[in-house]
Amino acid sequence: MHDQDPSTFGEFGEFDPSPEPPAAHAKVLRDELVAAAEWAARYLSELPQGPVARPLPAQLRSRLRAGQLPQRGGELGEVLDFVRDEIAPYPTGNGHPAFFAWVNSPPAPAGIVADLLACAVNATCGMGENALMDLERGTVRMLADLAGLPDSAGGVLTSGGSMANLLALATARTWFLTRRGSADGPAYDRDHARLTLYYSAQAHMSVAKAAACVGLPAHRLRPVATDPHDRLDPAALRAAVTADLDAGLLPFCTVTTLGTTATGAVDPLEPVTDLCRSAGMWHHADGAWGGLGASVPALAPHYAGVGGVDSLTVDPHKTLSVPVGCGALLVPDPEHLHTAFAHQASYLTAGEPDALPWLSHATIELTRPGTRALALWATLHHLGRDGVTGLIEHYLALAAELRERITAEPRLQLLSGGPWPVACFRITDPYGNAPDALHTRVARRVQDNGRAYLATVAVHGRTVLRAALCNYRTTTDDLDLLIREVLHAAER
């Protein structure tokens, strides 16, 4: 796209290195950054006019998968050409305002700018003190405040909610065994084999996956029954813990969910914290979607007691539209993270004796991207506290509108859900129960038509259509479009 003269390759140009290092002439780099920025701005502004998603041509798919590295390097300008022609036309669709599947947001404008700048700075938020690492400590504080955790709270940013849940279970396990004096030795072997984990039957699958990663077998996992509103039933939890204690097992942690994936339910927090305290268990709350609900007046009543949890997952790349790759684990007492993760090495020692622990001492990762902290800071700074509340309230209002439209449409049947902004619904069948397969087919047809996008989920044993509201570009026109598309797909 742009010619570049290899003899002027940055500061390395003079000694004719072979192969050429990846430096670029300052003017070439500048031109490419400007071209990329102009393209990205146009792409984002034109995105709503195009289809939500389109099928990837088979030839392109094979080419992308082949992974053949050419012998000679290419030109810088080819990156933009490649993205424009071969990647951007085939997205998941979550940038589009008519995308309603899963909980996948579009990127926030401030986050897009910040991601680029953070890449240029390329600070690692793992070791060594630098401004971005302090910014990460600060953004973690902002999240903790929004979540309603105490002033003492700290934590780390992660790649997402799954990684945060994994850190939480590893931390809970270390905390529990350390308190029993069985963090190592024969006592470890004896106790670890008896660790038992509780979570609601509506919990995200990443919780069971995290349990497997920390070495808990499936028969030490206890999915607990939920009430008619899909919330964990504290009485059922208490019964399960009591039975396991009687059987000589070691209940060590309960995971509540704030914003369940299927219907957006919030588990009761205070009764679970009470039980955890009395049974010596850790209370982890998985708020990947709904962790910041305490900052929204309409949701706050569901969050009574949130400050009493031992750890909390939040996913700024869901609720806040921070570009993908930004989750967080928040803990009222950050020392628990250091007990679990601060492994020492001669080549990694903090300089000042009174320095804060590096962030690598609070997580699994050592070299960690500064993009998370900067994109999170930029997004929060652009929104402000009022903007965060306003954004979530906007999604709640859209969900209420969508539920109204579904209720008003005789060919659709709304199922109960919430308080998080989701609508689960089924096709009305005057002759009886519309089969599950019909709903799977309808979702697929809507996806294939490319004008809107939604997915199915199982609720109380039935397949239902599910629309999540987490796109700040979605308008009521998109809600009307979704209903039209579903009805059209159901008619065929």
Ligand X SMILES: *Cc1c(COP(=O)(O)O)cnc(C)c1O
Binding site for ligand X (CB under 6 A): 103, 160-162, 165, 204, 206, 257, 259, 261, 286, 288-289, 315, 327
Sheet of strand 412-414: strand arrangement: 412-414, 422-427, 462-468, 455-459
Instruction: Work out how close the CB of 255 gets to ligand X at its nearest, in angstroms, rounded to a whole number.
Output: 9
Q: Are strands 422-427 and 462-468 parallel, antiparallel or unpaired?
A: antiparallel
Distance of closest approach, residue 266 Cβ to ligand X, in angstroms: 11
Nearer to ligand X, 259 or 419 (CB): 259
**Least distance (Å) from ligand X to the CB of residue 256?**
10
- Residue 104 or 474 having the CB closest to ligand X: 104
Give the span between the Cα atoms of 456 and 44, in whole angstroms. Answer: 27
Report residue 487 as tokens. Answer: 């009805």
Strand order in the sheet with 311-314: 154-158, 327-331, 311-314, 282-287, 250-257, 195-200, 221-224
Q: Which is nearer to ligand X, 165 or 456 (CB)?
A: 165
> Using an 8 Å Cβ cutoff, are 133 and 377 in contact?
no
Whether residue 405 contacts residue 390, with contact meaning beta carbons closer than 8 Å, is answered with no
DSSP string, 167-183: HHHHHHHHHHHHHTT-S
The total of other beta-carbon atoms located within 10 Å of residue 481's CB is 15
Which C-beta is closer to ligand X: that of 204 or that of 222? 204
Q: Do the beta carbons of residue 380 and residue 117 sit within 8 Å?
A: no
Distances (CA, A) of 159 to 191, 365, 373, 391: 31, 10, 11, 22
Q: Nearest approach, Cβ of 160 to ligand X (angstroms)?
A: 3
**Pick 4 or 139: Cβ nearer ligand X:** 139
DSSP assignment of 94-125: TTSTTB-STT-PPPPHHHHHHHHHHHHH--BS
- Tokens 């609601």 correspond to 200
Residue 170 CB, nearest distance to ligand X (Å)? 16
CB of 190 to ligand X, least distance (A): 32
Burial class (CB in 10 A: 0-12, 13-18, 19+), 343: exposed
Nearest CA-CA partner of 255 in 230, 212, 287: 287
Cβ distance to ligand X smaller for residue 96 or 372: 372
Name the residue nearer to ligand X (CB basis): 60 or 364. 364
- Rounded to a whole number of angstroms, the minimum distance from the CB of residue 122 to ligand X is 23
Judged by CB, which is closer to ligand X: 24, or 93?
93
Q: How far is the CB of 226 from ligand X (least distance, A)?
A: 14
CB of 33 to ligand X, least distance (A): 29
Pick the closest to residue 167 from 279, 99, 253 (CA basis): 253
**Is the CB of 166 or the CB of 177 nearer to ligand X?**
166
